[in-house]
A and B are shown apart, each in its own frame.
Chain A
Amino acid sequence: MRAAMEATGATKPFAETSSRRRQRILKLAAPYALIAPAVAVLFATLGYPLYFLVSISFQRYGLKELLAHEGTWVGLQNYVTLFRDPLFWQVLARSVAFTLACVGATMVFGTLIALLLTRLNSIVRVLLTAGLVFVWATPAIVAVDLWQWMFDYEFGLVNWTLTALHVGNFIHHNWFYNPAQGFLVIAIVVVWGAIPFVVITLYAGLAQVPGELVEAARVDGAGYWQRFVNLTVPILKPIFLILASLSTIWDFQVFIQVWVMLGARPGNDYFLMAVYSYAESFRITQYGTGAAIAVVLVGLLMVLSIFYVRQMIKITDGGL
């Protein structure tokens, strides 16, 4: 390309315009050249696999097909089977309920602790923040393991404490025998891990609430609750929305907390969408139906993500 340009640039004025044009083309092309590798990698590791996921959801893809590396086209059959299966609707309803409960608990506790942080003296505040960061840093698998130990039926601290406090006889109480109790434990693991991010982000946001405004409201006779509802909430609303949608997206795809907590053998009663899709694919080698469940999961998450991305763009407007 350079040779061609030098060849045309024989006379001086011509040379100037052509080098300028070259610069302009370079400037136009540069950003595309810079993002090209990222686009290529994302296409290969995300785009194509997602396309392939949708395509196998229209195929029979069992053990035989796995060995042949070739599925059989069955159209919408996987979806029809799935939507006729009461288990699917049970799992979907359970996932929605589980997500709502976890997000609700995370946001309520997160907000309360963030508000509490603003009222602490500096030593306690630093201690609490440091503690929260430790919890946040704990890898998910490690968190599952340590809560398993806390809720162990034989030597677990929770059973001992509840018995000692005379809440009831929890000696040798198995928390996973009854799925309602099992999900309570799983929700505790999820919420415990999710609270620090919410608290620290909200606390950073609270620091942005102008002190003069709060003072003015106080002088005008507004109580704590009134100041919270009329000042703090509107200012924090964008962060609230982002945190709530992020938590929803994360909690709707909970997998390892269930899978590892139950020793890789969760029964139907413990299926959430991600667990269901995984078990269908890798436990009973029905990749077609497993993929169909995963497509439904991704589709639902996509709706939530659109909301989240729009919120992000609105807030960073221009800053993107």
Chain B
Amino acid sequence: MTRRRRDDLLANATGLLVLAVMVFPIYWMVTTAVKPGKQILSLTPVWFPSSPTLANFADAVQRPYFWNNLGNSLLIVAGTLVVSLTVAFLAAVAVARFGFRGRTAFVVLVIGVQMVPLTALVIPLYLLIDKVGQLDTLAGVIASYLAFVLPFMVWTMRGFIVNIPVDLEEAAMVDGCTRLGAFVRIVFPLVAPGVVATSIYGFIQAWNEFVIAYVLLSSQRNQTLMVWLASFTTYRGTDWGGLMAGATLCAIPVVIFFLIVQRHVVSGLTAGAVKG
């Protein structure tokens, strides 16, 4: 018994140690962001910010193009979501509710294309979008983002629709609903939370994307926040306080949204794996 308690104590202590090691970099980012300059560039680290300040955030927000780039990020995310949600929803219904020739091939395609690296895709996308004169426009970026947001959305949304028992629909049809009517009245309300979760995930992916925006959007005014963030680092040195404040700002919406959908992300990527 005592040995068991000692083991438990040891396990919990190790757990806390792992927690500290994993989370410390984030803690350090956030505390650096609220420290005055003197405490950031100090030869002995200041572990707890004694006089927190929002000066770094003010600096970051006042850097050139912050508001433009924030607007661009939001527009790109919104555009990507509107198109991909509609298209993905229809495809997910087909995969989840109909048996048809070519279904497995379509599913394999949807899972398979998620493995294509964006760094490989960005070369032809750049050349093709240049050909049609859409470089440095948000439309070109939105079109490119569909390539990686859409497959994931089809796959996740399919999971949500599959989980709604067909019996419910059939019951409604027995009661006189058409197939479409049953779908709209029964399935749609039940699948709504799934649609929300899927769009949040799409938001995160589009918001975080770097390579495509970095290549396609050449002028600073047209860039997204993630590219803006990379612009803090120059060879002349880095404004660490401002960068950490900017990084915190860019991470906040993602972290909040991520906390909401985290559970669904696991099941999307490894669907059914846990069942064994």
Interface residues of A (CB under 8 A from B): 28, 30-32, 34-35, 37-39, 41-42, 44-46, 48-50, 52-53, 56, 61, 66, 69, 113, 116-117, 119-121, 124-125, 127-128, 131-143, 145-150, 152, 154-155, 157, 160, 192, 195-197, 200-201, 204-205, 208, 235, 238-239, 242-243, 246, 249, 253, 255-256, 260, 263-265, 274-275, 277-278, 281-282, 287, 290-291, 294-295, 297-298, 301-302, 304-306, 308-309, 312-313, 315-316, 319-320
In the bound complex, residues from chain B placing their C-beta under 8 Å from that of A28 are 100
For B58, the chain A residues whose CB sits under 8 A away are: none
Contacts of B259 in A (CB 8 A): 133, 137
B59 beta carbon closer than 8 Å to chain A: no
| Contact assessment for A135 and B16 in the assembled complex, using a CB-CB cutoff below 8 Å | no
Which of B14, B106, B117, B128 has a CB less than 8 Å from the CB of A116?
B14
Given contacts A46-B147, A119-B8, contact A297 B19 (CB under 8 A): no
Please give the distance in Å from B89's CB to the nearest CB on chain A: 9
For chain B, the count of residues having a C-beta within 8 Å of the partner chain is 100
Most buried by B among A28, A152, A200, A305: A305
- For A46, list chain B residues within 8 Å (CB): 113, 116, 121, 147
Pairs across A and B, CB under 8 Å, 22 listed:
A30-B94, A32-B94, A34-B94, A41-B87, A46-B113, A53-B124, A120-B12, A124-B19, A127-B16, A128-B16, A145-B232, A145-B243, A148-B233, A155-B40, A155-B41, A195-B22, A255-B117, A256-B210, A275-B119, A278-B211, A282-B126, A305-B112
Inter-subunit contact B130/A160 (CB<8 Å): no
B189 sits at the interface (CB 8 A):
no
**Chain B, 68-104, contact with A by CB distance < 8 Å: what is the 0/1 string?**
0000000000000001101110110111001010011
Identity of the chain A residue whose Cβ is nearest the Cβ of B84 in the assembled complex: A41
User: Are A316's CB and B108's CB within 8 A?
Assistant: no
Contact B146 A41 (CB under 8 A): yes
* Given contact pairs A134-B26, A291-B123, a sample of 7 additional A-B residue pairs in the complex whose CB atoms are under 8 Å apart: A45-B143, A45-B150, A133-B262, A141-B247, A201-B273, A275-B119, A304-B115
> Considering the chains assembled together, what is the distance between the CA atoms of A313 and B111 in angstroms?
10
B150 adjacent to A125 (CB under 8 Å): no
| A35 x B95 contact (CB < 8 A) | yes
B43 on the interface (CB 8 Å rule)? yes
- The residue that A294 contacts in the complex, of B43, B113, B119, B128, with Cβ under 8 A, is B119
Are B150 and A139 neighbours in the complex by a CB distance under 8 Å? no
Give every chain B residue within 8 A of A125 (Cβ-Cβ): 15
Q: How close is B35's CB to chain A, nearest CB, in angstroms?
A: 11
Determine if A52 and B127 form an interchain contact, defined as CB atoms under 8 angstroms apart: yes
A149's partner among B14, B32, B154 (CB-CB below 8 A) is B32
A41 and B150 within 8 A (CB): yes
Does B196 sit within 8 A of A, measured CB to CB? no
**Residue with the greatest number of chain A CB neighbours at <10 A, chosen from B86, B232, B255:** B255
Q: Which residues of B contact A119 (CB under 8 A)?
A: 7-8, 11
User: Does B65 sit within 8 A of A, measured CB to CB?
Assistant: no
Give the contacting residue for A282; candidates B16, B25, B215; CB below 8 A: B215
Whether the Cβ atoms of A141 and B12 lie closer than 8 Å is: no
Residues of B contacting A200 in the complex (Cβ-Cβ under 8 angstroms): 262, 266
Q: Which 10 A-B pairs have the closest CB atoms?
A: A137-B258, A34-B94, A38-B91, A253-B117, A31-B98, A294-B120, A45-B147, A316-B272, A49-B124, A274-B119
Chain B residue numbers with a CB within 8 Å of A249 are: 115
Most chain B CB inside 10 Å of its own CB: which residue of A28, A42, A113, A152:
A42
Tell me whether A204 and B127 are in contact in the complex, defined as CB-CB below 8 angstroms, given that A134-B26, A141-B250 are known contacts. Answer: no
**Pair B272/A309 contact, Cβ less than 8 Å:** no
Which one of A42, A121, A128, A287 lies within 8 Å of B8 (CB-CB)?
Answer: A121
Contact of B15 among A124, A260, A313 (CB under 8 A): A124
* B124 adjacent to A137 (CB under 8 Å): no
- List of A residues within 8 angstroms of B93 by Cβ: 34
A155-B42, A277-B123 as given contacts; A302 in contact with B115, CB under 8 Å? yes
Q: Is the pair A238, B276 in contact by a Cβ cutoff of 8 Å?
A: yes
